[in-house]
Amino acid sequence: MSASESKVLMITPFHSQQRGNSLTSARLKNGLQNCGFNIDLLSLEENQAEFFFKNRLKNQKYALLHAFHGRYTGRLLAEYPALNDLPFILTTTGTDINYDIHGSEKNYVELAWQAADRIVVFNRDFVEVIRQSHPELLPKLITIPQGIYLPAGNYWNRRQLGYNNDDFIFFLPSGLRPVKNIDLALDALEPVYREYPHLRLLIIGADINPDYSQIIRTRISNLPWAKYLGEIAHNQTRGLIEMVDAVINTSQAEGQPQAVLEAMSLGKPCIMTAVPGNLNIIQSGQEGFYANDATEFSQAAKIFISNPEVLKKMGLAARRLVETNYRLEEELAAYAALYRQLMV
């Protein structure tokens, strides 16, 4: 049976908001369909998801299951055991490896890991993390870095957002939830602003955790140099990125910082927290900097603001790194090969 005749069931926890799982699953669905695969994408947050699993799954002739995020997938497998009959690829996406495997729902992560025929991780560091706790899973593990796809969108200019041409804009693309640690950016950049009053911080991302979002929004309302735009459609972010000077990531843990890589692909150097998922993407001092705390973050920010040539040099290096290591064509080819191996 050819790939176009067989159907793949792709399951993501989220699809309505612009966040890692939704962007990754949409990119792979579109790209792999262009490779000839027939894919149904289902989000667990959709109203019809429960009806689908209870009433329609048994009538569909799926040849492969491809799911994202271990904890959510494990819950699904426990509730609908019929899914276990399908060849199964699990893409781990960050919090399942960094947090859930150590928490109260680790049994769901382990259920998904054990059920999967292949487990995809975004970088080799996570292979070692899983190997240490579950060495029996090593034969299933495969590393596939995310490919970067950033469609053209509307043009943005600084005046639209009240910025001047000489403002230095740090860009923080991140949903508002505690693990993203937005406070670190505010804490680190506030003293830098006092020294460089043309510093600006632009935050975009979904309002995911209402309590945390309220805290961040309240802080920002008292900071004339910081702005939160809310959620921006992915196909409109390119113009924003082209307008800024540098990109930052303040997460306490990551799967792989896709939004940072997108900005780097457009020549923007980065400052990232030195945490799993961020580490070993760049060489600190070449494409950007790693920071262990607010002080190191501030120091890196000052280097960018005060040294235009360093900023430009690191931005060019960032672009080259993404073009070399995070090519969409290579990501799609790797998944297509997995699909062909497992489809029945």
Domain ranges of the chain: 7-147+327-342, 158-325
Helix 182-195 to helix 294-306 angle (10° resolution) is 50
Angle, CA 213 vertex, CA 159 and CA 227 arms, to 5°: 15
Type of residue at 318: A
User: How many angstroms separate the CA atoms of 338 and 120, rounded?
Assistant: 10
Give 143's strand partners. 121
47-82 pLDDT, tens per residue?
777 878 877 787 778 999 999 999 999 999 999 988
- From residue 297, alpha-carbon distances to 7, 186, 202, 224, 267 in Å are 47, 10, 16, 20, 20
- From residue 201, alpha-carbon distances to 110, 117, 177, 204 in Å are 39, 43, 18, 10
Is 33 within 8 Å of 4 (Cβ atoms)?
no
Q: Mean of the per-residue pLDDT values for the chain?
A: 92
User: How many angstroms separate the CA atoms of 259 and 173, rounded?
Assistant: 6
Residue 93 predicted with pLDDT over 90: no
Q: Residue count of the chain, please give it.
A: 344
User: How many angstroms separate the CA atoms of 207 and 210, rounded?
Assistant: 7
Is 146 within 8 Å of 326 (Cβ atoms)?
yes
Residue 94 predicted with pLDDT over 80: no
Q: What confidence score (pLDDT) does residue 1 get?
A: 46
Q: How far is CA 69 from the centre of its chain?
A: 12
Q: What confidence score (pLDDT) does residue 58 get?
A: 73
What the block records as the tokens of 74 is 């494990």
Right CATH for 7-147+327-342 from 3.40.50.2000, 3.40.50.300, 3.40.50.1820, 3.40.50.10860: 3.40.50.2000
User: How many angstroms separate the CA atoms of 213 and 31, rounded?
Assistant: 33
Query: How confident is residue 182, by pLDDT bands cut at 50, 70 and 90?
Result: very high
Is 231 within 8 Å of 204 (Cβ atoms)?
yes
| More confidently predicted of 202 and 55 | 202
Q: Looking up tokens 């908001």, which residue turns up? A: 17
Is 89 within 8 Å of 67 (Cβ atoms)?
yes
Q: What confidence score (pLDDT) does residue 4 get?
A: 52
Residue 180 predicted with pLDDT over 80: yes
286-338 pLDDT, tens per residue?
999 999 999 999 999 999 999 999 999 999 999 999 999 999 999 999 999 99
What are the phi and psi torsion angles at 73 (to 5°)?
A: -70, -40
Share of the chain above pLDDT 70, in %: 96
Residue 265 predicted with pLDDT over 80: yes
Buried b / exposed e along 149-167 (16+ C-beta atoms within 10 A): bbeebeebeeeeeebeeeb
Give 341's strand partners. none
Is 245 within 8 Å of 170 (Cβ atoms)?
yes
| More confidently predicted of 225 and 233 | 225
Give 67's strand partners. 11, 90
Q: What is the CATH number of domain 158-325?
A: 3.40.50.2000
Mention every residue, 6+ apart, whose C-beta is less than 8 A from residue 295.
188
Query: How confident is residue 217, by pLDDT bands cut at 50, 70 and 90?
Result: very high
Residue 118 predicted with pLDDT over 80: yes
158-325 has the same fold as 7-147+327-342: yes
Residue 17 predicted with pLDDT over 60: no
Residue 266 predicted with pLDDT over 60: yes
